Amino acid sequence: MRRAVLPFALLALGAWSCDMDRQPRYDAGEHTSLFANGTSLQAPPEGTIARDDPQWQRDLQARPALTAALLQRGRERYAIFCAPCHDLAGFGHGTVPARGFPAPPSFHIARLREAPSSYLVQVITQGHGAMYSYAQRVPPADRWAIAAYIRALQLSQDTPIDRLSSEERNRLQGMAR
């Protein structure tokens, strides 16, 4: 076994270069054949916003109007970013906690039902407890969409039956059968 490993180890050592102080690098705007336009400094992708751009803060402060499209976008983003931990209904029993990660709180507890939507946006932005910040992954408008969808989840689970119309109660009772 040792004889088989030795040639591979020697081959790996031979491929390793110790000349770390002579790596190629380019200054901003310097000519290079690396890119088709001949310059090393490339424009950022379209729609890129710097972290300190005031537009991010304006977007974060601008609460969008509640529309069906906003809720649909929130549902889509929630399923991608939140459901792995919070589950699709928001009770905190997602696949990530099922594998040993600390369970997040249910969105249906009184503290989170009573918290303003801006608190949910803040938690998405800054993180809380074991949850890390999603500021780099979720644009501000989508944070508001997720918060609106969480409110819809809360209503779907916590609305007293007497607040439903008779048609909605009949439909709900028909589903229970």
pLDDT in tens, 43-68: 888 877 777 788 778 888 889 999 99
Which of 165, 168, 154 has the alpha carbon at shortest distance from 71?
A: 154
> How many domains are contained in the chain?
1
Cα–Cα distances (Å) from 153 to 92, 112, 159, in that order, read 12, 12, 10
Q: Is 81 among the domain residues?
A: yes
Q: Is 59 among the domain residues?
A: yes
CATH number of the structural domain spanning residue 122: 1.10.760.10
| Residue 14 reports pLDDT greater than 70 | no
If you count them, how many residues does the chain have? 177
User: pLDDT tens across 105-162, in order?
Assistant: 999 999 999 999 999 999 999 999 999 999 989 999 999 999 999 999 999 887 788 8
Residue 39 β-bridge partners: 31
Domain of residue 154: give its range. Answer: 54-158
Alpha-carbon span 20 to 41, nearest angstrom: 23
Q: Is 132 among the domain residues?
A: yes
pTM for the complete prediction? 0.69
